[in-house]
Amino acid sequence: MSDEIASKWNSRYAYSGKPLPPPAAVLSRGERWLPKGENLTALDLACGRAANAQWLVARNFSVSAWDISETVVAEINSRQSASLIDATVRDVVEKPPSASSFDVIVVSKFLDRGLCGAIQAALKPGGVLFYQTFTHGLSNPDFLLCANELLSLFKGLHILEYHEPEPDSDGKADARLIARRPMHD
């Protein structure tokens, strides 16, 4: 199954030549919630072209970017501007992040409900999760969030911000969650 997923995404990423997209709005608009300090680590999970990772590198985080697609990871590694990103081919479902390993985790346009517990546990105490994905506008309903679903998937975290706007004129909408792991669970 994971080979099938990788090959689907490899063909989507086969040379696009497009400029890097902007980072997820949940991250750029939620900048004030980033933890402050020295030697902070961040993970861009299912990173795609790693726009989120690049934005975090520019804010002095030590950033890992993981994706199942070898094609997109090779593209990240070939970009000089991404040289500080530690980009790795990794199936995050088979190999989720370890417990208490990141100060920041960002997930955009990716949903695997079975992974949410591991994502929550992978935050260090005080670490912050930035999550943004679709509620409307995808043909596969498995990848669409239900109303308030991010809130229940991450109920062990302290919610800092949550938005779930109505669909736009194209019928698309996403939910955006910013939440912090308490210092003591």
Ligand X SMILES: C[S@@+](CC[C@H](N)C(=O)[O-])C[C@H]1O[C@@H](n2cnc3c(N)ncnc32)[C@H](O)[C@@H]1O
For ligand X, the binding residues (CB under 6 A) are 5, 9, 24, 46-48, 66-69, 72, 91-93, 108-110
Residue 66: name the closest of 118, 142, 28 by CA.
Answer: 118
Nearer to ligand X, 39 or 139 (CB): 139
Give the residue nearest to ligand X (CB): 48
Q: How far is the CB of 125 from ligand X (least distance, A)?
A: 25
- 63-97 burial by CB neighbour count: b if 16+ within 10 A, else e? bbbbbbbebbbebbeeeeebeebebeebbbeeebb
Question: Which lies closer to ligand X via its Cβ, residue 37 or residue 114?
Answer: 114
CB of 90 to ligand X, least distance (A): 6
Give residues with Cβ within 8 angstroms of 39, minimum separation 6: 62
Output the DSSP codes for 8-47: HHHHHHSS--PPPPPPPHHHHTTGGGS--SSS-EEEEET-
Q: Are strands 123-136 and 102-108 parallel, antiparallel or unpaired?
A: parallel
Closer by beta carbon to ligand X, 73 or else 157: 73
Q: Which ranges of 91-155 does DSSP label H, i.e. alpha helix?
A: 116-122, 149-153
Nearer to ligand X, 37 or 141 (CB): 141
The CB-of-132 to ligand X minimum distance in angstroms stands at 8
At closest approach, how far in Å is the CB of 46 from ligand X? 3
Cβ distance to ligand X smaller for residue 170 or 185? 170
Question: How near is the Cβ of 65 to ligand X at its closest, in Å?
Answer: 9
